[in-house]
Amino acid sequence: MKIIVPTTLLLAVLFSHGATLPRLCSALVPYTLLHAADVHPHLKPAIDALNSTAMATWYTDRSDDLVADLMVKCKDGSIPAIVIYGLPNKDCGDGGFSQAGGNTHAAAYAAWIQTLATTVGPDRDVIYVLEPDAIGLVAAGGCGVRHGYLANLKRALGILTATNAKARVYADVAAWADVKPAIAALHDLQTAGRLAGIAINTANYMTTDALHTKCQEFSDQTGGLHCLIDTSRNYNALPGTQWCNPAGGGMGAPSTAETYNPLVDYHLWIKVPGDSDGECSGKPGAMPNGPSAGTFFPDAFKALWNQGFFVQEKKLPPLGPASDGTRLARASPSVAPAALSGGVDLWQQCGGKGFAGLTSCKPGSVCTYDHDYYSHCKPMKK
């Protein structure tokens, strides 16, 4: 029997969906953007326009831990979003640019996850995006299986959900993943803890409409799992071969719980626009001279802004050419933060290959290694 749902009732369900979920926290602006606004003043108007857009905070084993600061700043009833990216041997597929990290074995990974869960606390609304691309690499049957990704994902899910009953864990399913084996991996993962859903399109360029369709496909075969969709760079549809600093990308619509789809909990900026995908000059569609993964890439930010939602839909001014002649977000002696006040400010750059600015931080903070091209000042542990 065919059941017809009245249009008014359907619209009421769709439009009320966002009201049932906590508002996304936008209190912590990624420090790569804060620093880029100082070093590249021609980008500052666009960066300032993004300050109210909620972006996920990345918890990785190759950079500073910002979770404690995030928890302090998101105490207004909003829900923080944290990307967990620290599997031993992560990013093991072809073209992986983020393989380095401190977690070299399962015990170290479990302890690192427990540190995160303890910092967040036992009774706090929180979104976790669990290990970008990991399910896709498990589904591929190669290095993700060889390196035991699924066993570590199960450890992480168990710890996160046992520590906090309010934790919403979304296992990242790469947009390019082979669906059938990915679903099998998700079924296995669900035996380890309470899985809220899947994250799709992290750092990728599939359109929102296509992602809603993909969400339905996964949900139908996983017992109704919900979805979290990365809209940070998906304004323009790009072929799947163009995944690394593509010239045709555009910033997508801002983060929101108003997705008009009861299966899609949030549209969320998971990848920070302007953060490089890696040193991938020569790959299909890639912009030249891309820096190492996670380093701010001014040319990419400009392209994403000019070709994306804020310029094309909201009619904000496009960005013109650089006036400072810089490409990477590296300070020089003339623009080094707090150059005349006894040290580099909190969260600002203090080191890295090619860096020529101050390397000592202001009292109460210490210069902390992120990756070869970037170190920044973080609070000293008490």
Catalytic residues: 91, 133, 277
| Spatial contact of 291 and 353, defined as CB atoms under 8 Å apart | no
- Greatest CA span in the chain, whole angstroms? 76
Cα-atom radius of gyration of the chain, to the nearest Å?
Answer: 20
d(CA 258, CA 139): 31
d(CA 267, CA 258): 8
3-state secondary structure 43-63: HHHHHHHCCCCCECEEEECCC
Burial class (CB in 10 A: 0-12, 13-18, 19+), 16: exposed
Strands across the sheet containing 167-173? 57-60, 81-85, 126-130, 167-173, 197-200, 226-230, 264-268
Burial 64-86 (b: 16+ CB within 10 A, else e): bbbbebbbebbeeebbbbbbbbb
Tokens of 280: 């991938």
Instruction: Look up residue 236 and give its amino acid.
Output: N
Distances (CA, A) of 319 to 53, 97, 215, 255: 19, 28, 34, 22
* E strand or H helix at 217: helix 208-220
149's enclosing H/E stretch is helix 149-163
